[in-house]
Amino acid sequence: MIYKQYVNRIYPLALRMSGDRVRAEELTQDIFVRAWEKIGLFRGESSFYTWLYRLAVNVILQSERSRKRRSRREPACSDPVENFAAAGDDSLDARIDLERAISRLPAGARSVLLLHDLEGLTHREIARLTGTTVGACKAQLHRARRLLRGELER
C-alpha cells in the first residue's frame, strides 16, 4: 500500500519543512490525498517515489505560502523535536538541538536548507519547485546556514 510504503519518508519532510508536528500530520494527509487524486498523472517517467516526493514538496510549499499569507509566522503549536527524539541516534542531544534550530529558521530559508543539504536537491531543482531563481535560492541557503550556525553557537 502506497501510504505504508512511503509515509516514513514523507512525514519527516513535512515535519521539518513545517517545523510543527500537528501541521506536519495535516500536510502528510494532504499529500497522500493529493497523490490519490493525481495518481492518473503518474506516467512512470521517474520512480514513483520521485513523483510523490515532488508532489509532496509542492503541497508543502503551497500550503506554507498560503498559511504565511493568512498570518505572519504563527507560533508553532507543538514541538517538532518530540518526533525526532524517537528516531534514535548516537548523539541524540546534538541532533535534537539541530532539529530545534532548524525549526526556528524562517520558512523560506528552512525550505531551501532542507531541500539542499538534507534532501540533496540542486539549486536549479529547488528554484523550479519554489518558483524562484537560482540566485535567490543560493542567497536563502547562505542565510539559513548563517542563522543556523548562530543558533547552534548560543
Partner 1 sequence: MNCRRVSRLTDDYLDCLLPPRRSARLEAHLSACPACRRVVQETAKLRARLAALPRSFAPQRDLWDDIRNRLPARKVHRPHLRPMRLRLLVPLGAAACALSLLLFALFSLPPSGRTPLAVRPVVISADHPAASLRDFRAIETDYRQARETLLSALDSGPEGIDPRLVELVKTNLETIDRAVREIESALKKYPGEKELLRLLAVANSRRLDVLAAAQKQLMDL
Spatial distance between the Cα atoms of 89 and 92, rounded to a whole number of angstroms: 5
> Shortest Cβ distance from residue 83 to partner 1 (Å)?
6
| Residue 142, phi-psi category: left (phi > 0), alpha (psi -120 to 50), beta (remainder) | alpha
Q: Please give the grid coordinates belonging to residue 129.
A: 519547485
Between 66 and 71, whose beta carbon lies closer to partner 1? Answer: 66
Identify the residue among 19, 32, 121, 130 touching partner 1 (CB under 8 A).
32
- Establish if 128 lies at the interface with partner 1 (CB under 8 A): no
Answer yes or no whether residue 103 interacts with partner 1 by CB under 8 A: no
* Candidate segments 54-62, 64-72, 76-84, 103-111, binder of partner 1 by CB under 8 A: 76-84
Among 36, 65, 106, 124, binds partner 1 (CB under 8 A): 36
Q: Interface residues with partner 1 (CB under 8 A)? A: 1, 3-4, 7-9, 11-13, 15, 21, 24-25, 28-29, 32-33, 36-37, 82-84, 86-87, 89, 94-95, 98-99, 113, 117-120, 138, 141-142, 145, 148-149, 152
